[in-house]
Amino acid sequence: MYPDGGGLYLQVTGAGAKSWIYRFSLHGRAREMGLGSLNAISLADARLAAAACRRQRQEGVDPIEARNIEQARARLDAAKSATFEYCAERYIAAHETSWRNGKHRAQWKSTLSTYVYPVFGSLPVGAVDTALVSKVVEPLWSTKPETASRVRGRVESVLDWAKVNGFRQGENPARWKGHLEFVLPKRSKVKRVKHHPALPYDEIPAFMAELREREGQSARALEFLVLTAARTEATIGALHSEVDFNERVWTVPPDRAGTKMMEEDPKPRRVLLSDRAIKLLKSLPREEGNPYLFIGGNVGKPLSNMAMLELMREMRPGFVPHGLRSTFKDWCAETTNYPNEVSEAALWHAVADKVEAAYRRGDLFEKRRRLMAEWAKYCTGQGAVKRGTVVRIRAAG
């Protein structure tokens, strides 16, 4: 320790590091306060800092405690100036590693950039209130209710993160229950959901017979989609590695189960494969190095996401592949005795009732296997009742 006078010392450690120290006594106890490295603080600056500390001591102020208070005030000021966009980026960075779905991560960023940042992204996160949240959500609520709901939920998550990390205080203005539910109308009253047109289930046997006569990957993919009641995205992205031919199961990862399912219940979906579905998959051509079941026109790529849609439009104008899931649901409801939860599980729908979901941990595996076998049988015409058939009942006696 090399004294300069007035409590200022230059401290030199055994490793050769040099720094300025102010030494003083408080309540009979010796204390030391670091003033900075010799590399950053000159002798003149160190003397000025030591002089300021001596003035504080003369006024009865602890210079160490005074500096701690000033630093805390600076941190608070910085927190107050942290923008919503800054907090959103921090939130995404902290959570995106747990989001296995790249599409989900992209949607988080795109929805905030499109709808939220232009309104209050550059404002301090502590200044975000109900009026600002409503300004973002209300215009979407009547035109894009699903998007509005997701945007609101994402804003709520960011604001909760900001509060926990000390960037804001008070209640969350994006909270739905007990708050925005009294500001915005119920979604069911805002806009009727426009469902995809569904091919009547009694037309499925004829449609499938016509489909089997067609050649090409589009026809096989569409037939497989019908047999499994799967989504288009899941079907065209299906990989050989996802199919267990021994167990007759196709496991669909969460990122292809649909955006809503990814958010509500992010887990793989097991699809039970019927005899016809297995036979179809085994008949598909293979391309070396291509992992996809339904190969596309470009080397190493899957079938185009428009291929099945174009084929469907050609075969049955006015209908789309996604509507075939509703066809399956109608068939289940009107011609089988399977409980509703079995067909819902086959369609990968999440259980709406959270209490019921907590108790129903399985995916009704064996019941769904029988259901899909019956559906495949119906699709081949074996379970269909032909129109115009008259069943004569012999007169009694």
What Rg value do the Cα atoms of the chain yield, rounded? 33
Q: Among 197, 228, 208, which Cα is nearest to 384's?
A: 208
Give pLDDT tens digits for 8-51: 999 998 888 899 999 988 777 888 888 889 888 899 999 999 89
* Whether domain 2-80 has CATH 3.30.160.390: yes
pLDDT given at position 260: 53
d(CA 199, CA 381): 16
Q: What is the DSSP letter of 113?
A: I
d(CA 187, CA 148): 10
* CB neighbour list of residue 252: distance below 8 Å, 6 or more residues apart: 230, 234, 238, 242, 268, 269, 270, 271, 348
- What's the CATH number for 84-190? 1.10.150.130
Q: Coil, strand, or helix at residue 366?
A: helix
d(CA 4, CA 27): 24
Give me the helices (H) in the chain, please. Answer: 43-58, 63-81, 84-95, 102-111, 130-141, 145-164, 187-190, 204-212, 217-228, 232-236, 259-264, 275-283, 307-315, 323-335, 340-346, 354-359, 365-379
In terms of Cβ atoms closer than 10 Å to its own Cβ (0-12, 13-18, 19+), residue 291 is middle
* φ, ψ at 33 (rounded to 5°): -125, 120
d(CA 254, CA 335): 30
Sheet of 8-12: strands edge to edge? 2-5, 8-12, 18-26, 29-37
- The tokens for 225 are 């989609």
Say if residues 283 and 207 touch (Cβ distance below 8 Å).
no
pLDDT given at position 80: 63
Instruction: Give residue limits of the domains in the chain.
Output: 2-80, 84-190, 201-379
Amino acid at site 358: A
- The tokens for 283 are 């008949």
Q: Is the pTM of this model over 0.85?
A: no
Say if residues 224 and 230 touch (Cβ distance below 8 Å).
yes
- What's the CATH number for 201-379? 1.10.443
pLDDT given at position 191: 54
From the CB of residue 92, how many other CB atoms can be counted at a distance below 10 Å? 18
Q: Among 335, 366, 345, which Cα is nearest to 247's?
A: 366
Give pLDDT tens digits for 218-271: 999 999 999 999 998 899 999 999 999 999 999 998 777 765 554 555 678 889
For the chain, list residues with pLDDT below 50: 262, 352-361, 384-397
d(CA 393, CA 214): 40
